């Protein structure tokens, strides 16, 4: 009845060794893996299990990747949905999806629930009238609030669902309803920042494992010279370089392939045979 459903990975197959440049975050998240591997150990030691964890930071820096790695390391199912998939005009549909998501995750616990772009579902509630444009309280607003309330109910009822970890990701923490950030809901907030030069090198090395790179290529220089490039962009760079190597009939990726790939990613594909006056 209430579609779309969460995408489920029985096991994501992603490990912490696939994640680079955000070592502090990974270290902090290791505890969640320990918990998922053995939830009852936390009970025995009377340690409060982690509730929800908010991953925040700019696009493409590894929020989804690290969430998948938590499930992969613990070898548990991963239930993934985007915040926008809960946003419906029909009252009750979004909240039914939230209920359904957590119900499925609890049946298959231990498990991880991950909601990407959680700001789409959990934007600040604005009372009866929107402050910005005095729009009347309409069905869409009511639906959004009902959905958010259902999410809060699910997070508050987590004790009965021992063994489920909830992770949310956002690029816009400032938009989130403060109720969601209260302790006991998202009780941990982890910042996933863009990588520095060392982080970029580590990310390039992770992705270089998946392609055939010539030993003559010095990745350190590239890592230094690509400030502001996210993990997603660096991964794209190596994929594009692999394509360039094929096109240039090289057996492995050479420096010139990487340079061509950088040109394409920064300038865009060249127009062959088109005269620009």
Summarize as ranges the residues that interact with ligand ATP (CB under 6 A): 19-22, 59-65, 116, 169, 171, 203, 206, 231-232, 235
Tell me the closest approach of the beta carbon of residue 150 to ligand ATP, in angstroms.
23
In the complex with ligand ATP, the residue whose CB is nearer, 78 or 158, is 78
Question: CB within 8 A of 95, min separation 6: which ones?
Answer: 146, 147, 149, 150
In degrees, rounded to 5, the angle at the alpha carbon of residue 9 between the alpha carbons of residues 12 and 117 is: 90
Question: Least distance from C-beta 73 to ligand ATP, angstroms?
Answer: 15
Tokens encoding 77 = 């199912």
**Among residues 232 and 265, whose Cβ is nearest to ligand ATP?**
232
177 burial level (CB within 10 Å; 0-12, 13-18, 19+): buried
Rounded to the nearest whole angstrom, what is the least distance from the CB of residue 165 to ligand ATP in the complex?
Answer: 17
What separation in angstroms does the CA of 199 have from each of 61, 114, 254, 261?
A: 11, 25, 22, 20
In the complex with ligand ATP, the residue whose CB is nearer, 155 or 204, is 204
For ligand ATP, the closer of residues 15 and 47 by Cβ is 15
C-beta nearest to ligand ATP: residue: 231
**Cβ 83 to ligand ATP, closest distance in Å?**
11
**Cβ nearer to ligand ATP, comparing 61 with 226:** 61
Burial 62-86 (b: 16+ CB within 10 A, else e): bbbbbbbbbbbbbebbbbbbbbebb
Smallest distance, Å, CB 129 to ligand ATP?
A: 31
């Amino acid at each position: 009845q209430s579609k779309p459903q969460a995408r489920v990975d029985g096991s994501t197959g992603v490990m912490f060794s696939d994640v680079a440049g955000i070592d502090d975050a990974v270290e902090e998240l290791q505890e969640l893996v320990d918990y998922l591997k053995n939830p009852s150990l936390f009970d025995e030691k009377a340690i409060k299990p982690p509730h929800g964890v908010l991953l925040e930071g700019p696009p493409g820096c590894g929020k989804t990747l690290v969430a998948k790695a938590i499930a992969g390391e613990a070898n548990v199912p991963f239930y993934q949905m985007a915040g926008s998939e809960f946003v419906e005009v029909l009252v009750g549909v979004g909240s039914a999806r939230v209920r359904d998501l957590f119900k499925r995750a609890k049946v298959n616990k231990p498990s991880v629930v991950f909601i990407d772009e959680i700001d789409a579902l959990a934007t600040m509630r604005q009372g009866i009238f929107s402050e910005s444009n005095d729009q009347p309280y309409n069905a869409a607003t009511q639906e959004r609030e009902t959905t958010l309330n259902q999410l809060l109910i699910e997070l508050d009822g987590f004790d009965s669902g021992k063994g489920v970890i909830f992770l949310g990701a956002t690029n816009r923490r400032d938009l989130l309803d403060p109720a969601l950030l209260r302790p006991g809901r998202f009780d941990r907030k982890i910042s996933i920042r863009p990588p520095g030069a060392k982080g970029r090198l580590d990310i390039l090395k992770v992705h270089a494992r998946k392609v055939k790179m010539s030993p003559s290529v010095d990745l350190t220089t590239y890592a230094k010279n690509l400030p502001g490039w996210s993990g997603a962009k660096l991964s794209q760079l190596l994929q594009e370089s692999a394509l360039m190597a094929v096109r240039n009939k090289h057996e492995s990726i050479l420096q010139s392939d990487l340079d061509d790939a950088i040109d394409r990613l920064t300038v865009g594909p060249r127009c062959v045979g088109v005269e620009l006056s």
